[in-house]
Amino acid sequence: MVTIQNLHFAYRRRKVFNGLSLELKPGTIYGLLGRNGTGKSTLLRNIGGFLFPQQGSIDAFGFAPEKRQPPFLEKVVLLPEDFQLPPIGLQRWIKHMAPFYSLFDKRQFERYIGEFDVPPDARLNEMSYGQQKKVLISWALATNAPLLLLDEPTNGLDIVSKSQFRKVIAGAIDENRSILISTHQVKDLEQLIDRIMIIDEGRIIFDQDLESIASKLLFKFSFDPEEAARALYRESSLKGNALILRNTDREDSRPDLEMLYKAISLDPKTINSIFRP
């Protein structure tokens, strides 16, 4: 679906990517994590063809995104974190946008905005930021584009809306579609994503699916000081220690992606060594 090889990109003198490589496969929801300013949004914009690589290549569905050919553009939807919608009614906006996506399904769109409790006859400029975000999420899903690039999609959503977001995203993925979600709100997506990628200093420093993480690492709460001493990562409190350990006995545990992100940020070499064949 998408293959990136040796990507280099910079804003004037500030280098963002220095040889970044990754692959996106269909049927997968990816979580892209990283500190602010590490290039998460820039990566999405390079994949979407809004920014152009200075070195390296991006192949998306057999197209080079920077050429912005119409057959490519209808296959990709980028939902940015910051946006500005026109001062028109929702139905008029849909009428103007739908022709750009041959697989757009208006009934799907109406179902999504219904689930998000967005009034179908509202004017875009009179909506709150959260409502506008729901419109764009509904729009992105209803295009049926095989690649969705979502930049901080849960920003501006309340607790109920975040739950609805997870529900509609989980229901929208199929074997022909890939969704890449850039976020710093790891807890919002912990039960949704299939694979986690962490970006730092212009490179992907961790890239594993949740099944592999659960088989290699053990996440647990413990009062045992010996367990805490041999942990790969720990967070201490008066009640005990939250730990990440090697899963040598193949125990079942639920990965805590926020803890894992902190552990990798501190010591990526040690964590990555566990996943090598």
Write the CATH number for 97: 3.40.50.300
Q: Please spell the DSSP secondary structure of 80-92, one letter per residue.
A: -SS----SSBHHH
**pTM, to two decimals:** 0.92
Contact predicate 31/186, CB 8 Å: yes
pLDDT band, very low/low/confident/very high, at 129 (cuts 50, 70, 90): very high
Contacts of 87 (CB under 8 A, 6+ apart): 123, 124, 125
CA dist 182 and 193 (Å) reads: 11
Average pLDDT over residues 243-258: 93
Does 24 share its domain with 59?
A: yes
Q: Which of 201, 220, 245 is the last residue of a domain?
A: 201
Does 64 share its domain with 21?
A: yes
Contact predicate 68/76, CB 8 Å: no
Give the pLDDT confidence score for residue 273 in this predicted structure.
94
Give the pLDDT confidence score for residue 3 in this predicted structure.
96
Phi-psi region of 28 (alpha: psi -120 to 50; beta: other; left: phi over 0): beta
Does 149 share its domain with 247?
A: no
Does 145 share its domain with 187?
A: yes
- Token pair in block for residue 44: 């999405």
Which 3 state secondary structure label does DSSP give 255?
coil
- Token pair in block for residue 85: 């919608």
Q: Which domain holds residue 26?
A: 2-201
Does 129 share its domain with 252?
A: no
How many domains does the chain fold into? 2
pLDDT band, very low/low/confident/very high, at 165 (cuts 50, 70, 90): very high
Instruction: With a cut of 80, say whether residue 277 has pLDDT above it.
Output: no
Give the pLDDT confidence score for residue 66 in this predicted structure.
94
Instruction: With a cut of 80, say whether residue 238 has pLDDT above it.
Output: no
Q: Which of 201, 223, 245 is the last residue of a domain?
A: 201
User: Judging by beta carbons within 10 Å of its beta carbon (0-12, 13-18, 19+), is residue 166 exposed, middle or buried?
Assistant: middle
CA dist 260 and 12 (Å) reads: 33
Is residue 206 assigned to a domain?
Answer: no
Is residue 241 assigned to a domain?
Answer: yes
Average pLDDT over residues 212-216: 95
